[in-house]
C-alpha cells in the first residue's frame, strides 16, 4: 500500500489528530468518544496500526488533543465540558472541570507548565500543572463575545492566542498573575477556526470561514497582517498547520481539499500555493490537518475527515 495511507478505526467523524513531539506516533479523537493511538508498523511507513483505544473518559464527542512538549502527558477535551489528562501509558490521572459547556480546544505552553482550554461558553481557561496530575486554574478569560474555537501558545514565550466565532483573534499575556488581552486582531470577515504559530513565534497563521489564510507578523506593537491569501478554499477553512521544520503551511476545510502553501517572509505578499489536493477524503469535510513535527519525518502530513478516516500523506513538492 502506498501513500496516502488510510487509517480505519473510528466509527464517527474524526475531529483532530496530534503528533507526538518526541516519537513517531500520533493520537486521534472522534465523535465516537474515543481516542486512538497510531504507530507505523512498517519501516517505510506504508502501514500504520492502532495500538491503543481510550474510550472510557469522555461521555460526548472528543474535540481536541494536545501533547505536552515532553511528549509524556496528553490532554483531551470534550463536548462533555471536561478536559482529561493522560499520563504513564495512557492512564487518566485528572479531569479538569470548569467550563459550562463544550470544550473546543486544548493547548500546552512551550514550558509544559501551562494548559489553555476554550469553550462554547465564550471563555478561555488557563491552568497551571502542579505535578502529579494536579492542576490549578490561574485565569478565566471572558472577553470573546462568542464561542471560542481554538487556542494556541507561542512556541517560546507565555503568550496565548485564541480564535473565535466573534471573527477575532485575541492575544493574551500575564501581568503579575493577572492574564489580560493585549491585542485583538480583527482582519477576518467571519469565524476564525484555527491558528498556528511558526517555529520562531514571529509569525502567526489564521484560517477562517471567510475562506482566507492570513499570516500575521510580530512587531514592537503586536501582530500585524503580513500576507493574505483570499479565497484559498471554496468553503470554510477548518484547520491550519505550520510545519515546525520549514516554512510550509497546510490548510484544509469544507471544500474537501487541502492545500500546501509556502511562506516567504521577505516577500511583500509571501504566500505561494504549491499544491492543492482535491477530494482528499472523497466528498467529506476535512476537519484537521497536521504536519509531523519530527525532523526526519517533516514531509509527513496527517488529515482527519468526516468520513471517519485518517490519512497519512508524504508530501513531495
Contacts of 31 (CB under 8 A, 6+ apart): 10, 12, 13, 15, 61
Nearer to another protein, 24 or 138 (CB): 138
Nearest approach, Cβ of 264 to another protein (angstroms)? Answer: 39
Specify the residue, 83 or 211, whose C-beta has the smaller distance to another protein.
83
Q: Which is nearer to another protein, 171 or 310 (CB)?
A: 171
Cβ burial 217-248 (10 Å sphere, 16+ → b, else e): ebeeeebeebbebeebbeebbbbbbbbbeeeb
Q: What is the 3-state secondary structure (H, E, C) of 4-23?
A: CEEECCCCCCEEEEEECCCC
CB of 130 to another protein, least distance (A): 8
Least CB distance to another protein at residue 98 (A): 5
Whole-number minimum distance, CB 107 to another protein, in Å? Answer: 18
How much is the CA Rg of the chain, to the nearest whole Å? 18
Q: How far is the CB of 174 from another protein (least distance, A)?
A: 12
Instruction: For residue 316, report the phi and psi dihedrals to the nearest 5 degrees.
Output: -120, 125
Strand-by-strand arrangement of the 192-197 sheet? 192-197, 203-208, 213-219, 222-229
C-alpha cell at 58: 469522555
Q: Which is nearer to another protein, 24 or 137 (CB)?
A: 137
Judged by CB, which is closer to another protein: 19, or 165? 165
Compare residues 40 and 98 and give the one whose CB is closer to another protein.
98
Closest contact distance (angstroms) between CB of 146 and another protein is 10
Name the residue among 170, 57, 60, 157 with its Cα closest to residue 104.
60
Nearer of residues 123 and 212 to another protein, judged by Cβ: 123
Q: Do 231 and 188 touch, CB atoms closer than 8 A?
A: no
Which residues sit at the interface with another protein, rule CB under 8 A?
Answer: 97-98, 123, 125, 130, 136-143, 177-178
Q: How far is the CB of 224 from another protein (least distance, A)?
A: 24
In angstroms, the CA 25 to CA 48 distance is 9
Amino acid at each position: 500500500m502506498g501513500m496516502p495511507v488510510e487509517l480505519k478505526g473510528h466509527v464517527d467523524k474524526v475531529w483532530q489528530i496530534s503528533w507526538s513531539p518526541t516519537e513517531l506516533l500520533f493520537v486521534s479523537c472522534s465523535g465516537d468518544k474515543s481516542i486512538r493511538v497510531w504507530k507505523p508498523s512498517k519501516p517505510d511507513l506504508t502501514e500504520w496500526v492502532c495500538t491503543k483505544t481510550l474510550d472510557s473518559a469522555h461521555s460526548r464527542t472528543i474535540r481536541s488533543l494536545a501533547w505536552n512538549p515532553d511528549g509524556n502527558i496528553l490532554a483531551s477535551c470534550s463536548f462533555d465540558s471536561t478536559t482529561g489528562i493522560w499520563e504513564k501509558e495512557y492512564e487518566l490521572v485528572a479531569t479538569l472541570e470548569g467550563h459550562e459547556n463544550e470544550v473546543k480546544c486544548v493547548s500546552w505552553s512551550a514550558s509544559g507548565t501551562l494548559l489553555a482550554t476554550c469553550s462554547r461558553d465564550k471563555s478561555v481557561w488557563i491552568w497551571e500543572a502542579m505535578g502529579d496530575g494536579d492542576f490549578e486554574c490561574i485565569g478565566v478569560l471572558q472577553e470573546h463575545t462568542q464561542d471560542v474555537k481554538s487556542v494556541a501558545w507561542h512556541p517560546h514565550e507565555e503568550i496565548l492566542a485564541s480564535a473565535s466565532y466573534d471573527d477575532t483573534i485575541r492575544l493574551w499575556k500575564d501581568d503579575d498573575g493577572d492574564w489580560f488581552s493585549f491585542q485583538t486582531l480583527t482582519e477576518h470577515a467571519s469565524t476564525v477556526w484555527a491558528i498556528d504559530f511558526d517555529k520562531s513565534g514571529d509569525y502567526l497563521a489564521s484560517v477562517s470561514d471567510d475562506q482566507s489564510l492570513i499570516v500575521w507578523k510580530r512587531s514592537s506593537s503586536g501582530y500585524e497582517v503580513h500576507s493574505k491569501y483570499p479565497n484559498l478554499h471554496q468553503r470554510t477553512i477548518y484547520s491550519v498547520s505550520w510545519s515546525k521544520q520549514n516554512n510550509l503551511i497546510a490548510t484544509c476545510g469544507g471544500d474537501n481539499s487541502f492545500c500546501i502553501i509556502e511562506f516567504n517572509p521577505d516577500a511583500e505578499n509571501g504566500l505561494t500555493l504549491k499544491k492543492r489536493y482535491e477530494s482528499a477524503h472523497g466528498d467529506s469535510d476535512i476537519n484537521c490537518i497536521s504536519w509531523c513535527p519530527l525532523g526526519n519525518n517533516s514531509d509527513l502530513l496527517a488529515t482527519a475527515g468526516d468520513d471517519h478516516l485518517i490519512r497519512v500523506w508524504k508530501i513531495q513538492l
